[in-house]
Amino acid sequence: MADKPILPTILSVNAGYVDTAGFLALHGLFTAHVTGNFVTIGAALVTGASGITAKLLALPVFCVVVMCARLLRYRLIARATPVLRSLLLIKLLLLVAAALMALRYGPFGAGDSWSGTLTGMTLVAAMAIQNALHRVHLASVPPSTLMTGTTTQIMLDIADRIHGVPTEQQPAINTRLTRMMAAVLAFAVGCAAAALLYAFVGMWCFVVPALLALGAYLRHGDVADAVAPA
């Protein structure tokens, strides 16, 4: 994706944004980093907080959507249809649907309401599509939703530079550091923007992910899919 370097950045911003907006509006639901819901499930069981249903559903919904995206990829390839562009369009449609539901039914007073759960699972599905397309089609750039591994690698690379590495290894380390730091920064920008907009405009904050997804879809244009071995 060297000719479209902005795409991974848009995806990282959107992941941070959706995760934060979903967490704030949907009673602690993680929509992009779904394993975090195991922690909030335990907390909800102890404190009696609502939203357990959505948190329990998040992981299976995420897994099913990823598998469906994989199966869809095979069909699209068989029909000579651009896979990445198609997945970006599906993600866009899911985020538009989530925004419409948030505006229609939000604020969500109860975390286990059908409207809040449906909105949350739609956001989870959108982020599952993003994770799947990133893993297969953008494997050469850092993940857009999981920052723990990326941050760990940044610290390891910085430690290596402090210690000193052979000259021939420095370009690769510098390139990796630049990409990973950009991914973490983009994710953090998305988190901050979501928190601010949620505070000031409430449910209207969910319009932004759809706009970002539209930008990613349009920016991708007709570039051929960059498929990683998988």
Q: Which domains does the chain have, with CATH numbers?
A: 6-220 (1.20.1250)
pLDDT the model gives residue 5: 63
- Determine how many CB atoms are found less than 10 A away from the CB of residue 205: 24
The pTM of this model reads 0.88
Asked whether the beta carbons of 126 and 34 are under 8 A apart, the reply is no
pLDDT digits (tens, 9 = 90+) for 60-69: 999 999 999 9
Q: Which amino acid would we find at residue 165?
A: V
pLDDT the model gives residue 50: 62
Asked whether the beta carbons of 137 and 88 are under 8 A apart, the reply is no
Residues of the chain with pLDDT under 70: 1-5, 43-44, 47-51, 111, 221-230
pLDDT the model gives residue 6: 84
pLDDT digits (tens, 9 = 90+) for 194-228: 999 999 999 999 999 999 999 999 887 555 554 44
Distance (Å, whole) CA 92 – CA 68: 16
Share of the chain above pLDDT 90, in %: 54
pLDDT the model gives residue 142: 82
End-to-end CA distance of the chain: 17
pLDDT the model gives residue 48: 61
Strand segments (E) across 25-184:
none
Distance (Å, whole) CA 205 – CA 103: 9
pLDDT the model gives residue 131: 92
